Amino acid sequence: MLEIENLSVEVGGRRILKNINLKVESGYTNVLFGPNGAGKSALLMTIMGFSGYNIVEGNIYFKGEDITDLPLNERASKGLGIMTQRPPNMVGVKLRDLLEVTAGEKVNIDALVHELNMDSFLDRDINVGFSGGEIKRSELLQLAAQEPSLYLLDEPESGVDLVNISQIGGMIRKLLHGEMKCAGKRRKEGHSGLIITHTGQIMDYVEADKGYILCNGTIMCSGNPRELLGEIKEHGYGECIKCKVKQS
Amino acid sequence: MQSKTELKKKALNALEKRSEYGEDFDLSEFKVTSGGPEAIQNLEELDEDTKKLLLSAGIVPSGKGRLGTLLMTDNTVSHSSVTDKNIELTSTRKALQKYDWLKDYYWKIVPVDADKYTASSYLENADGYFIRAPAGKKSSIPVQTCLMLGAKNVSQTVHNIVIVEEDAQLDIITGCATKKEVEKAIHLGISEMYVKKGATLNFTMIHNWSEQIGVRPRTVVHVEEGGTFINNYICLRPVKSVQTYPTVKLEGKGAFARMNTVAVAHPGSELDLGSRVIFNSPGTKAELISRTITTGGKVIARGEMIGNADKAKGHLECHGLVLSSKGMQRAIPILEANVEDIELSHEAAVGKIAREKVEYLMARGLTEDQSVGMIIRGFLDVGIKGLPEELESDINETINKIGSSSV
Ligand SMILES: Nc1ncnc2c1ncn2[C@@H]1O[C@H](COP(=O)(O)OP(=O)(O)O)[C@@H](O)[C@H]1O
Ligand SMILES: [Mg+2]
């Protein structure tokens, strides 16, 4: 589904991602761990194609196609969808109007709106005066309408209270895995995801297949996501850096 | 009370008086027409081009969904009709003949000697529309009036008087348009509006002039206790120069005013658009919202709130988008408090559309054009209701054009 090869990225003239290699197989949900400032958000923004993230080296392949130089709307129409960490206040742009333009033909918007308790938000300007949880719900509603094949989710649990978390986590699970319980079937037929998580909380809701640890703009480690999370919880990220030093 | 001779003297003295703002026009280059077009019984019998012109200025030729219709072409009121006999709609001159009391409303709140434009309008004995909603008469269907320029080099002088009596509610749509064959002309418009106790006036003005037209409206609105005045000003088409600074005086407890300005300055256009509210009574409130775009023209967005009474509360919002480096946006908010217990605030911002916002929409699959269009549409949408479909689609078309040309 997604393959990143030897990617290096500069922001404002500063190199913040170095030689990234990362893969999300079709139907897999991979998670990305890392301390604050590691470059996790920058990586997702680069994959989506936002301006300001200058690729100085490497390539991004999506469904086998090199998308390194595609504008972001073309990436979106190929099936990439993102929930950013801090979306802008879209003054004047009503949630309803955007959904009307972006929703796929077969999408039942009303049902989604209802499921995410967004009925009273349809005629509001997107993100303007929304709480943390409301922003996430609105982003998920937009993503669900858009029906991407790869979901890029930047810390979906951050800034969200407990009630919202279960709703948001449940929705993400549904979008990624549908009703499928069997891992084999899920990987064959489910959607793919790359989820940034600081706390690992989202893993209470979705089945994560593979984990990556990003530190100082470099992938330090990858493997079983639960084991990685356990290590991080026990030793922090300091151990990863040591570990990487040992490996190289 | 000022006598006629006094007024005339003042006007004569002000004939050379330049306006404080805006390009100065030499009025001797224009001529006031008399007589002019024949009376038109039915606007649907006008030629197709003219009917289209009316529609794009928000005027429905059939008069459907309207309480009444008045058309003034150049200096002559050529049509006036009502579907509701309770509403008075006629030419200002006729009304002045009919009602002796009307002199108490005539040149009462707009000074004749404000500048050469008011002076000239007085001396030309400008005609215009007179609209009166009797006490308690509430209607949400608008009266429509159209001011059209039809002759070359014409100076259209207009004097409108609107009276909304106690507890009445009135909606007015005024559309201004220019016939194709008119290359150069000027419009001078005096409007004196009175919103009595507990009354509401919802006034929407659509400016749809053309490239070579100079426009100098002079409007003052007097709002009494508990009255509401809502003003929507829309100017999305090219025009040479508009300079206007309508002033609302809140003269009774709890009176309220909202003024929305939505405008686009095309290359060659100069828009000097202000809104002024004077809070003269306790507990009065106002909101001024200005959303302007330049695609190459010049915009000066002025907003002024003067607080003279306790518990007055007002907010002023001036947002300007710059879509071309040839364009200019200047926001000039002015707040003045003359008593202690007052709350006036403003926010002003000018600049280009944030890249982040365009990309937010692009990440959902919209093209850059579509994204910019959606943002512009939202920017200009201040929730003006009751515009005819034709005008709405015209507005959409303009917005789409602006959107794609700015990318
Ligand atoms: N627009 C920007 N300009 C300059 N530096 C930036 C910008 N965006 C991110 N950075 C820097 O890049 C690094 C990675 O940031 P980010 O990707 O947001 O980290 P994470 O999401 O892992 O917390 C940080 O040092 C951050 O300060
Ligand atoms: Mg981040």
Do B193 and B222 form a contact (C-beta atoms < 8 A)? yes
ipTM reported for the complex, 2 dp: 0.94
pLDDT on residue A241: 67
d(CA A97, CA B327): 29
Do A90 and A125 form a contact (C-beta atoms < 8 A)? yes
Q: Does B374 sit within 8 Å of A88, measured CB to CB? A: no
Q: Whose CA is nearest to atom 9 of ligand 1?
A: A42
Q: Does A48 sit within 8 Å of B365, measured CB to CB? A: no
Q: Whose CA is nearest to atom 18 of ligand 1?
A: A41
Question: Closest-lying ligand to the alpha carbon of A84?
Answer: 2
Does pLDDT of A53 surpass 70? yes
d(CA B226, CA B254): 5
Q: Which two tokens stand for residue B34?
A: 């008399």
pLDDT on residue B197: 98
Closest to B20 measured CA to CA, from B287, B190, B211, B218:
B218
pLDDT per residue as tens, chain B (407 positions): 578 899 999 999 999 999 999 999 999 999 988 766 678 889 999 999 999 999 989 899 999 989 999 999 999 999 999 999 999 999 999 999 999 999 999 999 999 999 999 999 999 999 999 999 999 999 889 999 999 999 999 999 999 999 999 999 999 999 999 999 898 999 999 999 999 999 999 999 999 999 999 999 999 999 999 999 999 999 999 999 999 999 999 999 999 999 999 999 999 999 999 999 999 999 999 999 999 999 999 999 999 999 999 999 999 999 999 999 999 999 999 999 999 999 999 999 999 999 999 999 999 999 998 999 999 988 888 777 767 777 788 788 887 787 777 66
Closest to A137 measured CA to CA, from A110, A177, A166:
A166
Question: Closest-lying ligand to the alpha carbon of A40?
Answer: 1
Lowest mean pLDDT among A114-123, A139-148, A174-183, B22-31: A174-183
User: How close is the Cα of A43 to the center of ligand 1, in Å?
Assistant: 10
pLDDT on residue B249: 98
Task: Tell me if A178 CB under 6 Å of ligand 1.
Answer: no
Task: Tell me if A41 CB under 6 Å of ligand 1.
Answer: yes
Task: Tell me if A50 CB under 6 Å of ligand 1.
Answer: no
pLDDT in tens, A223-238: 899 988 888 888 888 7
Closest to A32 measured CA to CA, from A227, A214, A243, A231:
A214
Does pLDDT of A248 surpass 60? no
Contacts of B379 in chain A (CB under 8 A): 91-92
d(CA B71, CA B54): 10
- Tell me, yes or no, if B383 comes closer than 8 A to chain A by beta carbon: no
Does pLDDT of A43 surpass 70? yes
d(CA A7, CA A57): 5
Task: Tell me if A52 CB under 6 Å of ligand 1.
Answer: yes
B365 closest CB neighbour out of A92, A93, A102: A102
Q: Whose CA is nearest to atom 26 of ligand 1?
A: A37
Ligand 1 atom with least separation from CA of A155: 21
Q: Whose CA is nearest to atom 17 of ligand 1?
A: A39
CA distances, B360 to each of A130, A140, B137, B283, B367 (Å): 16, 14, 48, 42, 11
Q: Which residue of A has its CA nearest to B379?
A: A92
Contacts of A48 in chain B (CB under 8 A): 363
Q: Where are the alpha helices (DSSP H) in B171-303?
A: none
Going by pLDDT thresholds of 50, 70 and 90, the confidence category of residue A163 is confident
pLDDT on residue A245: 58
Q: Which residue of A has its CA nearest to B377?
A: A92
Task: Tell me if A42 CB under 6 Å of ligand 1.
Answer: yes
- Max mean pLDDT among A117-121, A204-208, B181-185, B296-300 falls in B296-300
A76 closest CB neighbour out of B364, B380, B381: B364
d(CA B100, CA B106): 11
d(CA B234, CA A96): 25
d(CA B327, CA B364): 30
Q: Which residue of A has its CA nearest to B382?
A: A92
Going by pLDDT thresholds of 50, 70 and 90, the confidence category of residue A246 is low
Residues of A with a Cβ under 8 Å from any B Cβ are 48-51, 71-73, 76-77, 81-82, 84, 87-88, 90-94, 97-98, 101-102, 125, 142, 146
Instruction: Identify the sign of the CA torsion B9, B12, B16, B18.
Output: positive
Contacts of B371 in chain A (CB under 8 A): 73
Phi, psi of B125 (to 5 degrees): 55, 50
Contacts of B362 in chain A (CB under 8 A): 71-73, 76
Percent of chain A with pLDDT over 90: 59
User: How close is the Cα of A215 to the center of ligand 1, in Å?
Assistant: 12
pTM: 0.86
Q: Which residue of A has its CA nearest to B375?
A: A93
pLDDT on residue A19: 94
B357 closest CB neighbour out of A51, A88, A142: A88
pLDDT on residue B208: 92
Alpha-carbon gap: A181 to the closest alpha carbon of chain B (Å) = 29
Q: Does A48 sit within 8 Å of B363, measured CB to CB? A: yes
